[in-house]
């Protein structure tokens, strides 16, 4: 059997490896000159930057994947702190990766109840562990996946998920300090959503970062791509770069191959790691698109500045957040008015804090990101210029420096570039947002119900956005292919 994979994001790479392990002949097609999708790297002068995702959790998923190819365990280091937070009134906190010390930060610096903090962290842990085997690791769209003994345990915890309240409302039940609430609300942005609209269930996202703690791949985030790509090649997966797929070819509601800008290929299975919206719009013109899924509100986009900074700023760690003063207004701008606030929350990621080779000895590589609305034809040149000035003002005020004098290298990305380079619909990073109680159930399945042999991987389909979920989408496809073609 022949499998054709469209796109070499981590979901596509992981799927290619898993299908090759099943014994299929696998070929990957990538429109860019490099693998990895958003997980890629670039040198700007003397500074190396991971261009996309920056938070790495659940490294065991990478270990499991690489071991399928007989590779050694994935190299990474555990970080001693999850993030440093800076507030508009001058307050700042560092959250350590240690339960006792973490609780002490919330109680001593934010005045929260020790009992409530413990109960909250315990609840998100139990919720995540209950939901993972029946939602994240399996298809919601195949009854045989759902019917297992763990389903009953997950159902028994429904009263604790916060399905009828937003993340913000759920967090207000536990915490009294607005700073604590804002901190926990932040995790909605991990899949491009608003904490004021997303269900309380999504508070489970904080479990991976606060209860377990983030890690950092040795060599940077791009090593996720490099190691998986190398594993695929060692297994015999073939790659075609700078080859854009133009259409998925069909015969009587069954895939029979693809056409590209260079050739035509036959295949029994086609896996799209492309944004599911564009898969239907550009590659499946004759197939009726599932409008009830694709018309959902899209996730946010981003504006990112890559700054080579000729200084060491000790106040910052690997992960840093400078919060907006009016958090609600920021999300109103993102999702309601589709504008860019003048007081954005600023995320600064500095890999050179642990990877010394990523910057010259005198400097640091700053990945500076703010959430942005999707592209609806706004004046992005004006927005980028204004946003850059606002970021500089916030950084200078918070850190008591003059950052504009320290930037010796600079590039930027915006929703237009995200759409052009990574084919994210309107620059959306995660496809649909989770800004409704049932949004999780309106993500596209990992297989087509209309076309036999067609599957979907990556962050725009089930189970959702982020590296761990993209890796799980590949596991789900592997299981579906086994079932569909009796490869068990």
pLDDT, one tens digit per residue, over 468-485 is 999 999 999 999 999 999
Quote the pLDDT of residue 63. 97
pLDDT of residue 158: 92
pLDDT at 146: 83
Can you give the pLDDT at residue 442?
Answer: 82
Give Cβ neighbours of residue 106 (< 8 Å, ≥ 6 apart).
112, 117, 180
Domain range summary for the chain, segments of one domain joined by +? 2-39+55-76+223-296+434-484
Q: Categorize the per-residue pLDDT at 463 as very low, low, confident or very high, splitting at 50, 70 and 90.
A: very high
For the segment 282-338, what is each residue's pLDDT rounded down to a tens digit?
999 999 999 988 999 999 999 999 999 999 999 999 999 999 999 999 999 999 999
Residue 44 has pLDDT above 90, yes or no: yes
Mind listing the pLDDT tens digit for each residue in 52-97?
Answer: 999 999 999 999 999 999 988 999 999 999 999 999 999 999 999 9
Could you give the 3-state DSSP secondary structure of residue 475?
helix
Q: In terms of Cα–Cα distance, which of 308, 93, 247 is closest to 180?
A: 93
Q: Which distant-in-sequence residues (6+ apart) come within 8 Å of 132 by Cβ?
A: none
| pLDDT of residue 200 exceeding 80 | yes
pLDDT of residue 149: 83
CB 480 within 8 A of CB 455: yes
Cβ atoms 139, 476 nearer than 8 A: yes
Paired sense of beta strands 364-372 and 301-309, if any:
antiparallel
pLDDT 10s digits, 405-455: 999 999 999 999 999 999 999 999 999 999 988 787 789 999 999 999 999
Predicted pLDDT of residue 114? 97
Q: Looking at residue 438, what is its pLDDT?
A: 79
Average pLDDT, the chain: 96
pLDDT of residue 187: 98
Mean pLDDT for 202-227 is: 97
Has residue 488 got a pLDDT over 80? Answer: no
Q: Say which CATH class 2-39+55-76+223-296+434-484 falls into.
A: alpha beta
Q: Residue 168 has what pLDDT? A: 98
Gyration radius (Cα) of the chain, Å: 22
pLDDT value at position 227? Answer: 97
Residue 143: pLDDT band by 50, 70, 90 thresholds?
confident
* The overall pTM is greater than 0.75: yes
pLDDT in tens, 222-278: 999 999 999 999 999 999 999 999 999 999 999 999 999 999 999 999 999 999 999
**What is the number of residues in the chain?**
488
| Number of neighbouring beta carbons within 10 Å of residue 108 | 11
Cis ω before 56 (30° cut-off from 0): no
């Amino acid at each position: 059997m022949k499998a054709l994979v469209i796109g070499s994001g981590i979901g596509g790479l992981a799927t290619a490896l898993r299908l090759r392990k099943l014994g299929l002949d696998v070929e990957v097609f990538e429109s860019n000159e490099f693998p990895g999708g958003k997980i890629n790297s670039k040198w700007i002068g003397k500074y190396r930057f991971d261009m996309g995702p920056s938070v790495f959790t659940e490294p065991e998923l990478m270990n499991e994947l690489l071991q399928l190819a007989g590779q050694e365990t994935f190299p990474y280091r555990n970080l001693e702190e999850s993030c440093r937070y800076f507030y508009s009134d001058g307050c700042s906190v560092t959250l350590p990766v240690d339960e006792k010390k973490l609780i002490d930060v919330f109680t001593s610096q934010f005045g929260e109840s020790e009992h409530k903090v413990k109960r909250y962290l315990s609840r998100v842990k139990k919720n995540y562990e209950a939901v993972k085997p029946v939602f994240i690791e399996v298809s919601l769209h195949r009854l045989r996946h759902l019917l297992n003994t763990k389903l009953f345990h997950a159902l028994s915890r429904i009263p604790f998920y916060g399905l009828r309240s937003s993340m913000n409302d759920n967090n207000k039940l536990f915490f009294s300090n607005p700073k604590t609430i804002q901190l926990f609300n932040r995790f909605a942005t991990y899949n491009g959503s608003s904490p004021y609209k997303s269900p309380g269930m999504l508070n489970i996202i904080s479990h991976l970062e606060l209860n377990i703690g983030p890690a950092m791949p040795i060599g940077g985030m791009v090593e996720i791509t490099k190691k998986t790509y190398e594993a695929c090649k060692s297994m015999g997966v073939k790659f075609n770069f700078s080859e854009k797929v133009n259409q998925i070819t069909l015969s009587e509601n069954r895939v029979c191959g693809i056409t590209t800008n260079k050739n035509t290929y036959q295949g029994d299975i086609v896996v799209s790691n492309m944004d599911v919206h564009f898969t239907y719009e550009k590659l499946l013109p004759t197939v009726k698109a599932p409008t009830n899924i694709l018309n959902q509100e899209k996730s946010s986009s981003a504006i990112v500045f890559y700054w080579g900074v000729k200084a060491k700023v000790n106040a910052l760690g690997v992960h840093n957040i400078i919060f907006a003063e009016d958090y609600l207004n920021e999300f109103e701008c993102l999702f309601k008015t589709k504008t860019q606030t003048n007081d954005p929350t600023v995320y600064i990621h500095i890999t050179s804090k642990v990877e010394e080779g990523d910057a010259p000895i005198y400097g640091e590589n700053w990945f500076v990101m703010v959430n942005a609305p999707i592209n609806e034809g706004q004046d992005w040149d004006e927005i980028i210029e204004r946003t850059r000035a606002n970021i500089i003002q916030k950084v200078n005020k918070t850190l008591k420096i003059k950052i504009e004098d320290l930037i010796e290298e600079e590039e930027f990305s915006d929703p237009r570039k995200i759409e052009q380079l990574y084919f994210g619909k309107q620059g959306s990073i995660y496809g649909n947002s989770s800004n409704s109680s049932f949004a999780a159930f309106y993500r596209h399945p990992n297989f087509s119900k209309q076309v036999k042999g067609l599957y979907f991987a990556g962050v725009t389909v089930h189970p959702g956005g982020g590296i761990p979920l993209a890796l799980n989408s590949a596991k789900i496809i592997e299981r579906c292919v086994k079932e569909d073609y009796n490869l068990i």
